[in-house]
């Protein structure tokens, strides 16, 4: 007679069920991953695009970062000074006057410094306190395109620290001839190679290279509408032949010879001018990497360059050429590089962005390796809204990207500026759009909106100077 084993199978299944149930309700102090045998049947309030357990872990890490980075007495002293400054910042005269010009539809967001000694901007402020010139590069997307935001950051910092000039400019801009506010820009006879389209070229941070086309004339001209005079015009190029250059300025003409160079180099023209026209000859195989305009006072000054690429999410910075960029950095070194990305990484169907975080962090680390002595800052994602009836709401993905950017800053030990916090975590979106500070696409700033955001950045920058004045 055949034995009946069905009851044994039943007991085995019951035992397995209680083992899994026990694993699921284990105390949280035991760091094992919980087992949820009913996960596939649960109602996916995982419609929320943020994995809550991961978000809580990030929040916990960020809240505890001070505890983890204050091991030494020096760190403790720095953090104590910073906390005291925050307590009394409302009464600081330099900020009180500035705040009279700021709108209530934005708010202060101090720099978050995740460096081990709270010295993430030490290079910058050491030079400023020693009255040495400081160069800052913003590397980003169309959120800061057309020099929006950076034009006012530059103006505010130069008014406070000295210096003048628009900084780096392209030879051509195919989207708009007068894309740089306050500068009349004309060009003839050029092709532009772009990092996102022409991958095989040797790019610098600008992601642009300019070469002669088949036309007979190859010229560029710039005129400053405020009649500001600039002393230094610097051309960045490489060429296997000597280049002939004719410069027209203030009713006079000057001839120059740019020496051939296999590697990227620069040529400085020292001539006070508020209007300049340049004609190039013998440039069949030459590559140009832009031109800069500035006046450097004896007591230092601040100079701000804008390298924005429309549609860039920051994950193609690995295409920046190592050797050409090192040559460029010797011609135009930076004390601070600020990365502004995020909006172009967002997809309404995507929930998680850990892959984007890893990729962006790898790209930032690569640029860090090319600029090993440069301070680094991450400027958090700004805004991206969606219309819900007559109302504008912040896309939840923006919060996820912001979390990932905070993690990058923490893991790399660099400074973070929370753009979204300045915008009230999306609270001010409708008001900014009504005031036309934000475009109807709920993404891009107008120049007026950029100016308001720049005021808050300047405020944070000045506050940081007060901190470094106390510790250096």
Under 8 Å between Cβ of 55 and 407: no
Among 239, 269, 295, the domain boundary falls at 295
Q: Is residue 149 part of a domain?
A: yes
CA distance 60 to 99: 32
Rounded Cα–Cα distance for residues 382 and 438 (Å) = 11
352 and 388: one domain? yes
Residue 40 lies in a domain: no
pLDDT tens digit sequence for 117-143: 889 999 999 999 999 999 999 999 999
CA–CA dist 225, 114 (Å, integer): 41
Number of domains in the chain: 2
Least confident range from 149-158, 166-175, 253-262, 287-296: namely: 166-175
Q: Where are the alpha helices (DSSP H) in 130-255?
A: 150-161
Region 385-410 average pLDDT? 89
Specify the range with the lowest mean pLDDT, choosing from 12-21, 134-143, 243-252.
Answer: 12-21
Q: Are residues 369 and 425 in the same domain?
A: yes
One domain for residues 64 and 131: yes
Q: Is the pLDDT of residue 190 over 60?
A: yes
What tokens does 152 get? 């006012």
Residues 322 and 356 in one domain: yes
User: Tell me, what's the pLDDT at 229?
Assistant: 87
Is there a single domain that holds both residue 210 and residue 312?
A: no
User: Do 158 and 227 lie in a common domain?
Assistant: no
Task: Indicate whether 421 and 346 sit together in one domain.
Answer: yes
Residues 137 and 180 placed together within one structural domain of the fold: no
457-470: pLDDT as tens digits: 999 999 899 889 88
Is residue 336 domain-shared with residue 361, that is, in the same domain? yes
Residue 181 lies in a domain: yes
Q: Of 236, 264, 295, which one is at a domain's C-terminal end?
A: 295
Residues 325 and 267 in one domain: no
What is the pLDDT, as a whole number, of residue 53? 40
Q: Is 74 within the bounds of a domain?
A: yes
Of 246, 185, 172, 267, the residue nearest 213 (C-alpha): 172
**pLDDT tens digits for range 88-98:** 765 677 777 77
CB 187 within 8 A of CB 172: yes
281 located within any domain: yes
**E-assigned strands of 214-260?**
219-224, 230-239, 243-249, 252-258
**394 within domain boundaries:** yes
What pLDDT does 251 receive?
87
Domain containing 452 — which CATH number?
3.40.50.1110
**In the 3-class helix/strand/coil scheme, how is 66-105 assigned residue by residue?**
HHHCCCCHHHHHHHHHHHHHHHHHHHCHHHHHHHCCCCCC
Residue 41 is predicted with a pLDDT of: 35
Range 195-206 average pLDDT: 93
Q: What is the mean pLDDT of the chain?
A: 84
The pLDDT, as a whole number, for residue 100 is 78
Are 194 and 155 found together in one domain? no
- pTM value is 0.83
pLDDT tens-digit readout, 319-351: 999 999 999 999 999 999 999 999 999 988 888
User: What confidence category does residue 175 fall into, taking pLDDT thresholds of 50, 70 and 90?
Assistant: low
Evaluate if residue 358 carries a pLDDT over 70: yes
What pLDDT is attached to residue 183? 87
> What CATH code is carried by the domain that includes residue 214?
2.60.120.1360
Structural domain boundaries enclosing 103? 56-163+299-472
For range 271-279, the mean pLDDT:
93
- Where are the alpha helices (H) located in 117-206, listed in sequence order? 122-129, 150-161
Share of the chain above pLDDT 70, in %: 83
What is the length of the chain? Answer: 472
> Which residues make Cβ contacts (< 8 Å) with residue 370, sequence separation at least 6?
320, 322, 325, 326, 329
- C-alpha closest to that of 245 among 231, 260, 256, 234: 256
pLDDT of 66: 41
Is residue 41 one of the residues assigned to a domain? no
Considering the domain architecture, whether residues 470 and 346 belong to the same structural domain is answered as: yes
pLDDT 10s digits, 25-78: 554 443 343 444 333 333 333 333 333 344 344 444 444 444 344 445 666 777
Contacts of 15 (CB under 8 A, 6+ apart): none
Cα–Cα distance, 382 to 235 (Å, whole number)? 33
């Amino acid at each position: 007679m055949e034995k009946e084993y069905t009851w044994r199978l039943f007991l085995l299944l019951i035992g397995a069920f209680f083992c899994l149930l026990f694993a699921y309700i284990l105390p949280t102090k035991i760091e094992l991953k919980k087992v949820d045998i009913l996960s596939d049947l649960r109602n996916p309030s995982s419609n929320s695009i943020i994995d809550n357990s991961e978000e809580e872990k990030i929040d916990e890490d960020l809240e505890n970062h001070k505890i983890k980075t204050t091991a030494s007495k020096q760190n403790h002293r720095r953090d104590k000074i910073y906390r005291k400054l925050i307590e009394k910042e409302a009464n600081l005269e330099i900020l009180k006057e500035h705040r009279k010009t700021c709108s209530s539809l934005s708010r202060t967001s101090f720099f978050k410094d995740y460096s081990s000694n709270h010295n993430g901007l030490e290079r910058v402020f050491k030079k400023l306190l020693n009255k040495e010139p400081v160069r800052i590069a913003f590397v980003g997307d169309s959120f800061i395109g057309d020099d929006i935001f950076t034009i006012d950051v530059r103006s505010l910092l130069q008014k406070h620290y000295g210096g003048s000039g628009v900084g780096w400019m392209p030879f051509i801009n195919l989207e708009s001839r007068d894309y740089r506010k306050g500068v009349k820009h004309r060009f003839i006879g050029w092709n532009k190679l772009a990092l996102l389209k022409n991958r095989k070229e040797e790019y610098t941070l600008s992601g642009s290279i300019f070469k002669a086309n088949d036309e007979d004339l190859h010229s560029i001209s710039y005129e400053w509408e405020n009649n500001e005079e600039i002393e230094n015009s610097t051309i960045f190029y490489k060429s296997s032949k000597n280049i002939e250059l004719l410069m027209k300025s203030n009713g006079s003409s000057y001839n120059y010879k740019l020496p051939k160079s296999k590697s990227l180099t620069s040529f400085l023209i020292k001539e006070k001018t508020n209007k300049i026209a340049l004609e190039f000859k013998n440039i069949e195989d030459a590559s140009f990497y832009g031109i800069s305009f500035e006046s450097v006072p004896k007591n230092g000054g601040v100079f701000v360059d804008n390298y924005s690429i429309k549609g860039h999410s920051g994950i193609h910075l690995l295409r920046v050429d190592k050797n050409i960029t090192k040559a460029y950095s010797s011609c135009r070194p930076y004390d601070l590089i600020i990365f502004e990305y995020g909006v172009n990484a967002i997809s309404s169907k995507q929930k998680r962005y850990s892959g984007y975080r890893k990729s962006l962090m790898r790209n930032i680390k690569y640029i860090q390796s090319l600029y090993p002595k440069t301070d680094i800052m991450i400027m958090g994602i700004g805004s991206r809204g969606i219309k819900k009836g007559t109302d504008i709401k912040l896309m939840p993905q923006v919060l996820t990207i912001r979390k990932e950017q905070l993690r990058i800053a923490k893991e790399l030990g660099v400074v973070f500026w929370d753009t979204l916090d300045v915008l009230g975590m999306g609270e001010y979106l409708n008001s900014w759009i009504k005031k036309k500070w934000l475009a109807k696409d709920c993404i891009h700033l107008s120049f007026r909106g950029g100016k308001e955001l720049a005021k808050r950045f300047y405020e944070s920058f000045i506050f940081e100077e007060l901190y470094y004045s106390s510790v250096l």
